[in-house]
Each structure stands twice: as C-alpha cells, then as structure tokens.
C-alpha cells in the first residue's frame, strides 16, 4: 500500500501548471525578483513548500547563477535523410524548458556521409569548453577519439540514438539497435517461404564504421543464426554509397533479379530508395522492412511497397537526453544510465495512430 505521507516532487514546469502561471514566473519567484504579484508569489511558494525539497534544490542551484554550455553533436538533415530534422522538435522543447535556468545548448551538425566532417565539428565543440556533451556516435572510430578528449577534460557525456557500450558514458537514450534488428528479422521470417533469399541494403558511406547500422545488421543476422527452428534464409548484403542528394544514391533492381531475392531489409531511414525502385518496376510482392517515419517512407508504406517501418520516437529521445544531462549537472541527481526507446512496429493499418507528437 502506498505511503500517503510521501508527496511527489515536482518539476518547475509542473509547479507552473498547478499555479496557473508560466515557468518564467516560477523562476522569478525562486530568484526573488520583482514583477510578481503578492497573490501569485504566495500561490507558488505554497506549492513549493507542499511538495518538498526538489524545487528548493533547484532554487539553490539557480541561486549560484551558473550557466552550463552543452555541446549537442548530431548529423544534419538532408534531402536523402530528413530523419534528423524530427529531433529538432524535442530539442526546441528542451531549450524552452531548461534554457531559462542557464542551460544553453550549442548545436553542432556534421555530414553523416563524411567522417572528416565529424572530426571538424567535434573539434569545434571542444574548443567551446562545454560543461557537458550530447553525442550521436555515428562514426565509431572518430567518436572514440573524441570521447578520449572528453574524458581527459572530465566532460560528462550522453549518447543519443546509438551507444558505444565500452565507454564511460553518463546516459544513453535510444533504441537497442541489436534488438531492433532482431525484431526486423522476426517480421521478415513470417513473410518468407522456406528456404528464401534476403538482401540487406546498407545505404551508407562507411558501413563498418557506422554504429547503429552495424548493430541492426548484427541483430538481423543473429535471429536466423540463433535457432534452427527459424526458416533457412540465405542473406546477401550490399553496400550502397550514401549521398545528401537522394538522386545520387544508385540502387539497381538487377541485384534483386540476379540473386533471386525474396525479401529486402534496409537498416536505416533510406528505405524509400529501394521502395521507389520497386514501385517503378511494379514489384509490389517483395517484402520490405525499413526504419523511421519520414515523409518518403510513409508514402511508400501507404502504397504497400514497404511492409513494415520500425519507429524510434526521435522527438522524445532528443528531449529525454537533454533532460537527463540537466538533472545531472543542475539538479545533481543520479540518472538512469540506459534509457531504451520502444521498438515500434508500424504498418499501413496502424500508421494513423502515430501522431507527430509521438514520432514525427
């Protein structure tokens, strides 16, 4: 039975909601600033006192007037990959909520087709002497080099989207890449004859050095290798160079015809590149599984040229990782190390239930 004497602690946003004011007004009361009516002041203070110590802890942190610079390093969105635009909704929400408390996000965007771009952007991030880092560790080798420098300078860092498990990270927010690949294989297993041939299409400039892509492929392969009860599947893999211009990504249907492929798995958001080719040649009976609710993928899911999309909730991930670093640096709270996002399985039939606020 729950102890009724234990009162839940509130965030500044929740205090503002209960008091019927803005978070900025709560901030002014905590800092004992003017321009707040006595009635509003008393109402806010009553809520703070009723719900205990956490708002007081925040007030003590804010009283120092310390500001925090957070370097947020992530891929920039492009025509071929608009996925990263979706995370901006969560980032903007986080800026609005935590910015008033001296928590400043510095955005650094790199080209996901170019390791050198990552090196340059990460160097710029370190030159800003951040108090914390949020990193999408897209390129494995370059990320390790960057994190070595963070650890030398005692800069805490969080991972977004994918995780380098052997590092001393503060927190990770994202999907379990290996498990999502495993789920994709299980879905594919239901749709194929036995035996069958499956093609994995890696649209990437550097597959072996691309963290999440590698994890998903490993999970997909492991499903068919782990249990003799699964169907006998021969897996082929092709690497297709990525490009910021989708028209420059060259995928030939001859690969499918030559190998006698009966199912296609694309472990990133560029599923539409393959599906567009299938649509062009009226190949609508070939099972296709990909990732992410970007507009191009949604269109081809609706047309039945993609059977399943695995969603990741990028807006919620982006907000959560900023909130986690805020709790650590400002509130001095212990944080959960691994925050795994759900592995959403999206079909044409349930697509409408995934609103922009959930996935984008």
- Distance, in Å, from the CA atom of 99 to the CA atom of 24, rounded to the nearest integer, reads 10
Of 132, 191, 128, which Cα lies nearest the Cα of 157? 132
Tell me how far CA of residue 105 lies from CA of 119, 169, 184, 229, 294, in angstroms: 20, 19, 35, 50, 25
Contact 75, 67 (CB under 8 A): no
**Structural domains of the chain sorted by starting position, each given as residue range(s) with its CATH number in brackets:** 12-62 (1.10.260.40), 68-175+314-341 (3.40.50.2300), 177-311 (3.40.50.2300)
Hey, what are 124's tokens? 């710029």
d(CA 46, CA 152): 45
Cβ within 8 Å of residue 273, ≥6 positions away: 80, 201, 203, 240, 246, 249, 251, 266
Which pLDDT score, from 0 to 100, does residue 35 have?
A: 75
Rounded to whole angstroms, how far apart are CA atoms 353 and 174? 21
CA-wise closest residue to 164 among 130, 184, 141, 131: 141
- Find the largest Cα–Cα distance for the chain: 78
- The whole-number pLDDT of residue 237 equals 92
> Rounded to an integer, what distance in angstroms lies between the CA atom of residue 319 and that of residue 122?
21
Question: Residue 213: which of 142, 290, 144 has the closest Cα?
Answer: 290
For residue 212, give every residue at least 6 positions away whose Cβ sits within 8 Å of its Cβ, in sequence order, or none.
138, 161, 162, 174, 177, 267, 268
pLDDT at position 240, please? 85
pLDDT tens string for the chain (360 positions)? 344 444 455 677 888 888 888 888 887 887 666 678 888 888 888 888 777 535 455 555 556 668 899 999 999 988 878 888 888 888 989 998 888 888 999 999 999 888 999 999 999 999 999 999 999 998 999 999 999 999 999 999 999 999 999 999 999 999 999 999 999 999 999 999 999 999 999 987 776 667 888 899 999 999 999 888 889 999 999 888 877 677 767 777 778 888 899 999 999 998 999 999 889 888 878 999 999 999 999 999 999 999 999 999 999 999 999 999 999 998 888 999 999 999 999 999 999 888 554 444
> Cα–Cα distance between 115 and 53 in angstroms, integer?
46
Q: Which residue has the tokens 């190390």?
A: 337
Q: Say which DSSP state 4 is in.
A: T
| Sign of CA pseudo-dihedral 159, 160, 166, 171 | positive
Q: Is 132 helix (H, G, I), strand (E, B) or coil?
A: strand
Distance CA 49, CA 54 (A): 10
Q: Residue 1's pLDDT is what?
A: 37
The predicted structure's pLDDT at residue 88: 87
Q: Where are the beta strands (DSSP E) in 229-319?
A: 233-240, 263-265, 288-291, 308-311
C-alpha R_g of the chain:
23
Does pTM top 0.85 for this prediction?
A: no
Peptide bond before residue 195 is cis, with ω within 30 degrees of 0 = yes
Strand partners of residue 290: 309
Helices (H) and strands (E) in the chain, counts: 13, 12
């Amino acid at each position: 039975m729950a102890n009724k004497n234990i009162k839940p602690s509130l965030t500044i946003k929740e205090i503002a909601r209960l008091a019927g004011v803005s978070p900025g007004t709560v901030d002014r009361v905590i800092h004992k600033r003017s321009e707040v009516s006595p009635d509003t002041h008393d109402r806010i203070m009553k809520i703070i006192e009723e719900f205990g110590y956490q708002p007081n802890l925040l007030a003590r942190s804010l009283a120092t007037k310390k500001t925090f610079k957070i370097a947020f390093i992530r891929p920039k969105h492009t025509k071929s990959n608009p996925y990263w635009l979706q995370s901006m909704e969560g980032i903007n929400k986080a800026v609005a909520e935590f910015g008033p408390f001296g928590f400043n996000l510095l955005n650094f965007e790199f080209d996901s087709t170019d390791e050198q771009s990552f090196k340059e952007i990460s160097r710029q991030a370190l030159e800003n002497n951040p108090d914390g880092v949020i990193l999408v560790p897209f390129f494995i080798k370059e990320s390790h080099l960057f994190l070595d420098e963070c650890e030398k300078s005692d800069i805490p860092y969080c991972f977004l989207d994918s995780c380098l498990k052997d590092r001393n990270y503060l927190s990770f927010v994202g999907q379990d890449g290996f498990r999502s690949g495993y789920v994709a294989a299980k879905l594919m297993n239901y749709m194929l004859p036995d035996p069958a041939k499956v093609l994995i299409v890696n649209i990437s400039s550097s597959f072996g050095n691309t963290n999440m892509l590698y994890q998903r492929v490993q999970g997909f392969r492991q499903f068919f290798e782990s249990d003799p009860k699964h169907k006998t599947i021969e897996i082929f893999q092709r690497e297709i160079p990525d490009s910021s211009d989708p028209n420059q990504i060259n995928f030939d249907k001859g690969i499918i015809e030559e190998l006698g492929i009966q199912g296609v798995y694309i472990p990133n958001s560029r599923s539409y590149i393959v599906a567009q080719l299938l649509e062009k040649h009226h190949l609508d009976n070939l099972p296709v599984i990909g990732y992410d609710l970007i507009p191009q993928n949604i269109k081809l899911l609706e047309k039945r040229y993609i059977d399943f999309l695995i969603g990741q909730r990028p807006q919620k991930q982006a907000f959560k990782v900023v909130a986690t670093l805020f709790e650590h640096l400002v509130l001095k709270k212990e944080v959960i190390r691994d925050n795994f996002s759900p592995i959403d399985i999206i079909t044409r039939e349930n697509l409408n239930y995934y609103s922009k606020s959930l996935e984008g």
